[in-house]
Chain A
Amino acid sequence: MAVCSLGFLFFCGAAVIVFHLAPGKRLRQIVLACVSLMFLIPLVPDLRSWIWFVFFLGITYGALALVRAQSRGWIVTAAVSLVLLLYLYVKRYTLLAAFIPFPLALDMRLHKAEVVGLSYMTFKFIHMLIDQWQGQLAPFNLWRYLNYQLSFFTITAGPIQRYNDFLKYWEEMDLQPSETRESLLYWIRILTGMIKVGLLGAYVETALKSYGGLWTTPTLGSVLIAFYAYPVYLYFNFSGYTDIVIGAGGLLGFRLPENFNRPWLSRNVLDFWDRWHITLTHWIRDYVFMSSYKAAATAFPRGARSWSYTLLFFALFVAGVWHGTTDAFVMFGVLNGLGAAATRAYGDVLRATIGHQRLRAYLKNKTVRLIAIVITLHYVCVCQLFFANDVDHALSILSALGTCLANLPAAVSRYSWQGPALVLVAAAVLLTALWKSDAAGSFFERAGRWLGERNGLLSTILCAQCAFVAGMFFVQWAFQQEPPPVLYMQF
């Protein structure tokens, strides 16, 4: 079921009504389990995929139960390795298939299985296993485990909720329904997400396909669209999806973690990943970077700094390669890893050369911040070229961009004054917006709080959104368009 569709909206509405009519915790848990199953069924295409699903959930639960019974490090290592190999195999990392001679009958290249949410289930399982081993995991059983893994608002593309947080809400289901104001805010969040995915994201994607695709003679405009539009599309698509599931989860009593925090205001690559797909970054920070860096810095204290650069590179490389199996994603991972390591190295050099006091002043300087934001924005756009295209096409866009910029003075002189003036005004507005971003952010936060306290206004906004979204779905239906897919559901 597409999350940006009228069907999903009715599905959510029906789920919320049945959920809140159910008396008591047990019944509500059963309702939620049924809702998750109904959401999952259309996403699993065939019997083979179901078998993989059951197999994956079976062996991961078995590993967890084993570690609960015998808390041994080697069992944890073996289980994580096995699940990672399985993950690489099912995700068809062709590199692995070239090295491991699977019997033909088992070869995934011949018998493909679609295991929806495999990445997110793997993340959740590894987190549970390590926390269980270290005595930090809340009690679990098969019923809770299955509901945690298959919960419909996190299975397809996150956000990655930690088990202890999930359990807290799972056990509080007998509480009274949330107040009207909260429900209105969650419905507004769902509809905002649908507008982001179905209208804004879809519009930018159309522009990208129309003007930013392959060209015979690239113009500055088409190259700029190819360079800037994809990150915008991805942001609307993925943050819109996140809004929808956070709203749906909230209506059913689950407070899901946020996945975005104004990513375009990041001042370096590390900051960007702390604001974009936050739950994935934090998972990688906790279970890849922190664990490996702690082991390395404890074993080799003198080489800790070198290890920090290497392991930061590795962590962001993993974040990149996780997205896909092609060489373009390897490039995406390498660029992000290099950006992260360089950010850390630059900070260390500054600290060593100008000292703490001046570094504090440097970091607070608004001009420095603005320059850092603009550089990061462009670096992220370069990285995402490899996310969106194959390596050759990404390089051709970069090459065309270089050519267009080199010919810019000649190109501008051919235009009348209106075109360049428009570009300059747009750039000035953008830079002013960035310059005033803190003030604007706090203004919107205050406005949001003010609005959030007024049920009448919230109802009006919700009604306007309903009308708008109804129009959007009507256009989709009239022109027989498919609901726009959520890109991250394929990872």
Chain B
Amino acid sequence: MRDVRAELQEIFRQVFDDPTIVLRDDMTAADVEGWDSVTHIDLLIAIERALGIKFATAEMSRLKEPDQNIGSFVRLIESKLQAG
């Protein structure tokens, strides 16, 4: 089975150019320095390329909401991977 969390962490480190990032489920955009609207899209493009999935506009938007965190991000990716 694919380790989405580990792959996601590697993508985060590349996009934010910060090898010290360690993802936790309760982390939000406010916890990652430089996670603004631009890097959010850079991140989603990198995830789409690496995992072969596509995000809709509403999903991209929802992931920026304050009540969303890495845990919900991982769950969304896993559901997309399962849906094929």
Using CB atoms and an 8 Å cutoff, list the residues of chain A in contact with chain B.
Answer: 130-131, 134-137, 162, 164, 270, 282, 285-287, 289-291, 293-294, 297-298, 304, 308, 312, 344, 347, 351, 356, 359-360, 363
Contacts and interface: CB of A to CB of B under 8 A. Distances in A.
Contacts of B71: none
Given A287-B57, A290-B60, A359-B33, 19 more contacts: A136-B59, A164-B58, A286-B58, A286-B60, A286-B61, A291-B57, A293-B37, A294-B45, A297-B42, A297-B45, A298-B45, A304-B42, A312-B38, A344-B38, A347-B34, A356-B16, A356-B18, A356-B33, A363-B33
Contacts of B64: 285
B36 interface: yes
Nearest to A135: B56
Contacts of B33: 356, 359-360, 363
B44 interface: yes
B61 A285 contact: yes
B3 interface: no
B57 A286 contact: yes
B26 interface: no
A131 B17 CA distance: 32
B41 interface: yes
A18 B4 CA distance: 52
B28 to A, nearest CB: 14
B62 to A, nearest CB: 9
A233 B38 CA distance: 32
Name, among B20, B38, B59, the residue most crowded by chain A CB atoms within 10 Å (CB to CB): B38
B18 A290 contact: no
Contacts of B20: 356
B58 A131 contact: yes
A162 B20 CA distance: 37
A445 B41 CA distance: 33
B37 A290 contact: yes
Nearest to A307: B38
Interface residues of B, number: 21
A290 B61 contact: yes
A131 B38 contact: no
A136 B58 contact: yes
13 contacts: A136-B56, A136-B59, A137-B58, A285-B61, A290-B37, A290-B40, A290-B41, A293-B38, A294-B41, A356-B16, A356-B18, A356-B34, A363-B33
Interface string B15-52: 01110100000000000011011101110110000000
A280 to B, nearest CB: 14
Interface of B: 16-18, 20, 33-34, 36-38, 40-42, 44-45, 56-61, 64
Given A134-B58, A136-B56, A136-B58, A285 B45 contact: no
Contact of B56 (A131, A304, A312, A344): A131
Nearest to A293: B41
A363 B34 CA distance: 11
B37 A136 contact: no
A351 B61 contact: no
A137 B56 CA distance: 11
Contacts of A298: 45
B17 A356 contact: yes
B81 to A, nearest CB: 17
Contacts of B56: 131, 134-136
Contact of B57 (A130, A164, A270): A130
A164 B57 CA distance: 14
A256 to B, nearest CB: 15
B36 A270 contact: yes
B57 A131 contact: yes
Contacts of A363: 33
